[in-house]
Chain A
């Protein structure tokens, strides 16, 4: 079995985020990056499949040189090989552009399963996974909180509104976008880190994938116009007085606004 895991490197959760000079993204110099939390669960799920039987697990990421570190960590955790799409032409890709790049990799590799995170900690768009499945014309599910495999099919519990779970069955090849918390993610052991040095690490360009002119800023249908912190307004009302008074005030406010 061949399993593809898509990873994104995102700013570390503790990193201080400042907006860059032209106001279109954050200042990336001198901040720490890490693997998108959702994707670590996806990788763990793939590695568990490998532990349970035979599987070739390869990880794919798109981005500049720094992304190599995320892929190496994944190799240290146990992935067999890495593909790094490292090309300035990919910069500025929207979700569809990214999905196209990943689809081109998938077409070259023909994986039986694709695992990825439901969304990324930085963009929160949750769009790449369904787009990728669509481009590959394979079944997919999102927000998986439990994944079970039996020959040729994958059964997933997915989280839906109100805490309910929906159970779906997919036929491979298929794509599963996971929710956080569905497993306990392993660390890269020192042995794993050392072994990673010898694992195949391919670097590909947009042209290698036959996508010249089809991705990146030029092709993007969604462009980030401006990012800004929420404006501080004066619409908040602060209740004061004793605890009893504050609670009474809060209750009447809730009633007044018809929130309950």
Chain B
């Protein structure tokens, strides 16, 4: 590769397909996502129609195989998608991510051909809305301690327990989500992964978590498993391989959540830059004031640093392999804090207007906080990073 070619590489949209995809997303976001975002945040509702539109455009199957209707694209394409959606409506982005990455991508890497054949075409077309059930009322970070039990019963398993904070657990107040990957204990500190479908007796929608701080356009619910009968053929991998299954999908989950953070940060920088050019105090636009400049400049620098990190990790990412946990954890650990700081700076720059819903950044501020908790807390990333780096100190160097 010549120096000239190297200089021309666009890390953020390296191929013509990435560029065309980003252009499509920019238009989709402007015309269809942005106009509905405030309302669904206010009403705490998931926009099922918009989800179907996303399916029409192929957005639900970006990383999934073409034979099932997906586009079979790489992690960079997934990052482009979640960055774009999240720059306007992180709540909706989270719902799509829970469906496509936490659920469908999980089935794609962990399910056998039969399960993939059964699930993926329906998930990619948007006929089914999926989610991932890991967290329980008493267990979050400490997943190995989960209490939901799956007991073998002939050719089936019977699942008992409760899962909570499940994104897409419901579609609306009365409608359960369609299909879930569920982690349940099949022995002492032994976890297995199952695909559980609506209609399997004993599965019901529990509490809808209302009044969330942010991400209100995603539906968060508790699911109750009361002797849910699941055929053994719906188990992904062997008994006890649930932890491995979890690990296999965790990296892309974190990377795409990091991408959402980048989208939030970008939007906040744009909003504050624009506002600071228009708002005047003491006879000059506020962008002339050094303290305001500091908010904008620091946020911009941090946003660009986060974008570089996230897209660079995406560039190296191999969706069929593990081994990038260090990079994925680092990307999310950094980017989610950048998003929160940028949103905070944006509110400050907008003053009282920043505090008002109409000016968007307060919604992004509320949404950004989730990224420090969901898909692994800040503390979980910090612990993982130090553990993994200590095991392989050579990976410190970029």
Interface set of A (CB-CB < 8 Å, partner B) = 34, 68-69, 72-73, 76, 187-191, 193-194, 196-197
B56–A189 touching, CB < 8 Å: yes
B16–A68 touching, CB < 8 Å: yes
Map CB proximity to A onto B50-87 as digits: 1 under 8 Å, 0 otherwise.
00000011110110001000011100000000000000
Give the size of the chain B interface in residues (CB under 8 angstroms).
Answer: 19
What residues of A have a CB within 8 angstroms of the CB of B71 in the complex? 190-191, 193-194
B57–A187 touching, CB < 8 Å: yes
Interface set of B (CB-CB < 8 Å, partner A) = 16-17, 19-21, 23-24, 27-28, 56-59, 61-62, 66, 71-73
A161–B374 Cα distance when bound, in Å, is 59
A189–B20 touching, CB < 8 Å: no
A194–B17 touching, CB < 8 Å: yes
28 contacts between A and B (CB under 8 A): A69-B16, A69-B19, A69-B20, A73-B23, A76-B24, A187-B24, A187-B27, A187-B57, A188-B20, A188-B24, A189-B56, A189-B57, A189-B58, A190-B21, A190-B24, A190-B57, A190-B58, A190-B59, A190-B61, A190-B62, A190-B71, A191-B71, A193-B21, A193-B24, A194-B17, A194-B58, A194-B71, A194-B73
Main secondary structure of the interface of B (DSSP, over half): helix
Nearest-Cβ distance from residue B245 to partner chain A, whole angstroms: 27
What residues of A have a CB within 8 angstroms of the CB of B21 in the complex? 190, 193
What residues of B have a CB within 8 angstroms of the CB of A189 in the complex? 24, 56-58
A54–B341 Cα distance when bound, in Å, is 54
B20–A72 touching, CB < 8 Å: yes
Nearest-Cβ distance from residue A15 to partner chain B, whole angstroms: 14
What residues of B have a CB within 8 angstroms of the CB of A76 in the complex? 20, 24
A196–B56 touching, CB < 8 Å: no
B27–A193 touching, CB < 8 Å: no
The residue on B at minimum CB distance from A190 is B58
Nearest-Cβ distance from residue A147 to partner chain B, whole angstroms: 23
What residues of A have a CB within 8 angstroms of the CB of B58 in the complex? 189-191, 194
What residues of A have a CB within 8 angstroms of the CB of B28 in the complex? 187
Nearest-Cβ distance from residue B93 to partner chain A, whole angstroms: 16
B20–A196 touching, CB < 8 Å: yes
The residue on A at minimum CB distance from B32 is A187
A18–B322 Cα distance when bound, in Å, is 47
A196–B61 Cα distance when bound, in Å, is 17
A189–B25 Cα distance when bound, in Å, is 9
Nearest-Cβ distance from residue A204 to partner chain B, whole angstroms: 19
B16–A72 touching, CB < 8 Å: yes
What residues of B have a CB within 8 angstroms of the CB of A191 in the complex? 58, 71
The residue on A at minimum CB distance from B28 is A187
What residues of A have a CB within 8 angstroms of the CB of B16 in the complex? 68-69, 72
What residues of B have a CB within 8 angstroms of the CB of A34 in the complex? 23
Nearest-Cβ distance from residue B191 to partner chain A, whole angstroms: 34
The residue on A at minimum CB distance from B69 is A191
A138–B19 Cα distance when bound, in Å, is 37
The residue on B at minimum CB distance from A185 is B27
What residues of A have a CB within 8 angstroms of the CB of B20 in the complex? 69, 72-73, 76, 188, 193, 196
The residue on A at minimum CB distance from B54 is A190
What residues of B have a CB within 8 angstroms of the CB of A73 in the complex? 20, 23
A189–B59 Cα distance when bound, in Å, is 8
A190–B20 Cα distance when bound, in Å, is 9
Most buried by A among B20, B57, B66: B20
The 6 closest A-B pairs by CB, nearest first: A190-B58, A187-B24, A193-B20, A189-B57, A191-B58, A190-B71
Nearest-Cβ distance from residue B267 to partner chain A, whole angstroms: 15
Nearest-Cβ distance from residue A7 to partner chain B, whole angstroms: 14
The residue on A at minimum CB distance from B26 is A187
A34–B17 Cα distance when bound, in Å, is 15
Nearest-Cβ distance from residue B269 to partner chain A, whole angstroms: 15
A190–B23 Cα distance when bound, in Å, is 11
What residues of B have a CB within 8 angstroms of the CB of A193 in the complex? 17, 20-21, 24, 71
The residue on B at minimum CB distance from A194 is B71
